[in-house]
Structure 1
Amino acid sequence: MTFATACKSLLVGLVSFSALSACNPSGSSSGEGVVNVYTARHYASDDALYEAFTEHTGIEVNVIEAPGDLLIERVRADGDRSQADVVITVDAGRLWRADEAGLFQPAPELEGVLANVPANLRQPDGDWFGFSKRVRVIAYAKDRVDPSEISSFEDLTDPQWRGRICVRSSNNVYNQSLLAAMVAQDGAEAAEAWARGIVENMARPPQGGDTDQIRAVAARECDVAIINHYYLARFMRSENPGDHEIGEEIGVIFADLGDGGAHVNVSGAGLAANAPNRENAIEFLEFLLSDDSQRIFAELTNEYPVIPSAAYDNDVLDAFGDFSSDDVNVDELGANAGEAQRIFDRVGWP
């Protein structure tokens, strides 16, 4: 199923909203007003999400978009004058930064629905939570790499990969969170040894985004790349023949982070510290964890649901197969980000 077909099918299915009441266990709805969503996401899935929420509740969604760090700074600078009800951003590292900047407030009303989210995918005090999962994986050229040679990120430091690895720069939050997870699991010394090994094995200086790493593998500039899984899924579901062909040429390995399974990160949200429409914001945050919203993320954005029981229809995610996940709490990814950056600097990872 292509992305466009999936999008059309899902939007048609949402028109009836037959199962959306499950997201609001109390059965209540304000039926009026607005919710101001400040978000760093810019996906078609989110437009479908907002439309579904308004149809179900009658609450209009005002969307304010900005890149992650700028979004955090804008809400922080607005302080008590902020009109933000909900703050959404990608990567646990940025969510931690937002929390440290005082952007969130406790939302005890969410305690029941948050019980459905695995404990490691939410901030320990419930200040923010992940609503979709993104996995840091290893992409490889099917014609040049035997996937049995790689089972963990540690394997990429072997000399056999000298001059064969493409990866983003050290200032990329995805890489910072990956290394921060290694610090949490195995300690700073082991994390630094890994980072140094990757630098020694790079095929080129870090450049571009995850999409560029995939294209570099296809162009034979390198044989393996470190990416988030959904970037490859986009290629595989693309209606552009050239991009689809690239997707078919690249394989994916859900490599272990030490002995703990694949490294899982999140897109997440929290109740804004000065939310002027608190009740509507709570309804929206509950809605993010409904079965239908979880399906939207999986089918339109190729992210994995955080709710283990959530069902979805995505042939590519199914083809990726099952994998085990690390149990590092997402809050530690932000807490260890500073140490991760210092390690990157020491080993000369640009």
Structure 2
Amino acid sequence: MKQRVKRGFLLAAVSTLLVTVCLSCAGKRQEELAGNRKIVNVFTARHYQVDSAIYQEFTRRTGIQIHEVKGTAEELIERMEREGERSSADLFVSVDGGILHMAKESGVLQPIESEAVKRNVPAEWRDPDGYWTGISTRSRVLVYAKDRVNPEDLSSYEALTGERWRGKVLVRSSSSLYNRSLLASFIGLHGEREAAKWAEGIVRNFARAPEGGDKDQVMAIAAKVGDVAIMNTYYIGQMLNSNDLTELEAAKKLGIVFPNQQTTGTHVNISGIGLSKHAPNKENALKLIEFLTGAEGQTMLAMMSYEFPVNAEADMPEWLRSWQGFKRQPVDIAGLGQFYEQAKEIFQRAGWE
């Protein structure tokens, strides 16, 4: 009799424990869905140290932990689509306006409802429907060896296709979003035929087959592999402030041209952030967006990465401020995504690897 009572007591205890565990699990999931955890999951195609530093500062101030999931923009969007409501993504970050538009069209984002973001970021750097906001801008400029090149010969992107530059042009591969966006802007401004002529002219003038990132093109200029390169402005700032003396010395020998100031303007792209459609930590994610676009977050970004801030109240290095005011291309940066497939085909036909 005592054994039956004892066994019955144990069964009741186990049942009670199971119910408690189940209720606890359910409560945790409800908490996750309600966004009550002190966490934000950031799916990011920006692999920059400055981002981690800003996230750490945000965590110090709020106690909200940031979990970065890194990959290419296309991989991250595909994952968010595949996982749907089960996705852990709170935010999606990209280094390209066309990709941000692609994320919006893919249905993986929801509108950012924040008056603070609207105050922080001018409308020109936000999606008109609110699905993403810019966090920085960057210009794709021409850099040259000051001891070998007359900058007057570099008034435009088109000038690089001339005979003067045969065997002297350095640039990264066609798979780079920066180059894809640049060529897409030419398609939007001049049509596919003129864009193809430009790509073919650049290929004819390659100093070597495309390789490496933008900084590698600078090092190749220093090594006299070529004389001129296409690169983003912030890499110049990073090299001019580098602890690597080899990078610093190479950057000091560069001249910089913002091309097409008398015609269509210099190409500009953005880094931006969108709120995931099924964000389990939506409230925390909005707090992070507001911090990233606020004056303090923007100042950190400009001072550490040398990108142009989108918030006019942000501080920045004086030399970076001196670069502002150049004429920009009159194109819809996000809308350039519609030309990406054409750009890819043009690159392939031109032999731009």
TM-score by structure 2 length? 0.83
Paired residues of 1:96 and 1:331 also in contact (CA < 8 A) = yes
Distance in 1 of aligned mates of 2:330 and 2:291: 25
1:177 aligns to what SS in structure 2? Answer: helix
Paired residues of 2:99 and 2:334 also in contact (CA < 8 A) = no
Residue 224 (structure 2) aligns with:
220
Paired residues of 2:73 and 2:94 also in contact (CA < 8 A) = yes
Tell which structure's C-alpha radius of gyration is larger.
2
1:75-224 to 2 correspondences below 5 Å: 75-107=80-112, 109-110=113-114, 113-114=117-118, 116-224=120-228
Residue 15 (structure 1) aligns with:
none
**Residue 264 (1) aligns with residue 258 (2):** no
Paired residues of 1:139 and 1:250 also in contact (CA < 8 A) = yes
**Residue 298 (1) aligns with residue 302 (2):** yes
Residue 317 (structure 1) aligns with:
320
Distance in 2 of aligned mates of 1:256 and 1:179: 14
Q: 1:331 aligns with which of 312, 334, 337?
A: 334
Residue 236 (structure 1) aligns with:
240
5+ unaligned residues in a row in structure 2: which ranges?
Answer: 1-34
When residues 134 and 193 of structure 1 are mapped into structure 2, their CA distance, relative to the original with a 3 A threshold, is same
Distance in 2 of aligned mates of 1:176 and 1:216: 22
The superposition leaves residues 202-255 of structure 1 with CA deviations (integer Å, 9 ceiling, x where unpaired) of 122222221211111111111101111112222211122221110101121111
1:336 aligns to what SS in structure 2? Answer: helix
TM-score by structure 1 length? 0.84
Paired residues of 1:185 and 1:328 also in contact (CA < 8 A) = yes
2:110 aligns to what SS in structure 1? Answer: coil
Residue 13 (structure 1) aligns with:
none
Distance in 2 of aligned mates of 1:175 and 1:212: 15
Paired residues of 1:117 and 1:307 also in contact (CA < 8 A) = yes
Deviation at 1:35, TM superposition (A): 1.8
Deviates more, 1:288-297 or 1:73-82: 73-82
5+ unaligned residues in a row in structure 1: which ranges?
Answer: 1-29
2:278 aligns to what SS in structure 1? Answer: coil
Residue 40 (structure 2) aligns with:
35
When residues 315 and 112 of structure 1 are mapped into structure 2, their CA distance, relative to the original with a 3 A threshold, is closer
Identical counterparts, % of pairs:
44
Deviation at 1:290, TM superposition (A): 0.2
Distance in 2 of aligned mates of 1:257 and 1:31: 50
Paired residues of 1:54 and 1:60 also in contact (CA < 8 A) = yes
Distance in 1 of aligned mates of 2:336 and 2:225: 30
Q: Which runs of 4+ in 1 moved over 6 A?
A: none
Paired residues of 1:162 and 1:202 also in contact (CA < 8 A) = yes
One-letter amino acid of the structure 2 residue matched with residue 52 of structure 1: E
When residues 38 and 308 of structure 1 are mapped into structure 2, their CA distance, relative to the original with a 3 A threshold, is same
Deviates more, 1:70-79 or 1:229-238: 70-79
Deviation at 1:132, TM superposition (A): 0.6
The superposition leaves residues 283-333 of structure 1 with CA deviations (integer Å, 9 ceiling, x where unpaired) of 221222100111111111111101234222x25524656422223222122
2:109 aligns to what SS in structure 1? Answer: coil
Distance in 2 of aligned mates of 1:275 and 1:192: 41
Aligned length: 319
The superposition leaves residues 178-200 of structure 1 with CA deviations (integer Å, 9 ceiling, x where unpaired) of 01111122222221221122112
Distance in 2 of aligned mates of 1:260 and 1:252: 18
Deviation at 1:266, TM superposition (A): 1.2
Distance in 1 of aligned mates of 2:52 and 2:177: 25
Deviates more, 1:82-91 or 1:258-267: 258-267
1:62 aligns to what SS in structure 2? Answer: strand
Residue 24 (structure 2) aligns with:
none
Distance in 1 of aligned mates of 2:246 and 2:104: 41
Residue 12 (structure 2) aligns with:
none
Residue 54 (structure 2) aligns with:
49
Deviation at 1:33, TM superposition (A): 2.6
Paired residues of 2:155 and 2:261 also in contact (CA < 8 A) = no
Deviation at 1:133, TM superposition (A): 0.9
When residues 261 and 307 of structure 1 are mapped into structure 2, their CA distance, relative to the original with a 3 A threshold, is farther
Distance in 2 of aligned mates of 1:341 and 1:161: 24
Deviation at 1:128, TM superposition (A): 1.4
Distance in 2 of aligned mates of 1:257 and 1:94: 27
Deviation at 1:40, TM superposition (A): 2.0
When residues 259 and 332 of structure 1 are mapped into structure 2, their CA distance, relative to the original with a 3 A threshold, is farther
The superposition leaves residues 327-347 of structure 1 with CA deviations (integer Å, 9 ceiling, x where unpaired) of 322212212111111222232
When residues 178 and 257 of structure 1 are mapped into structure 2, their CA distance, relative to the original with a 3 A threshold, is farther
One-letter amino acid of the structure 1 residue matched with residue 331 of structure 2: V
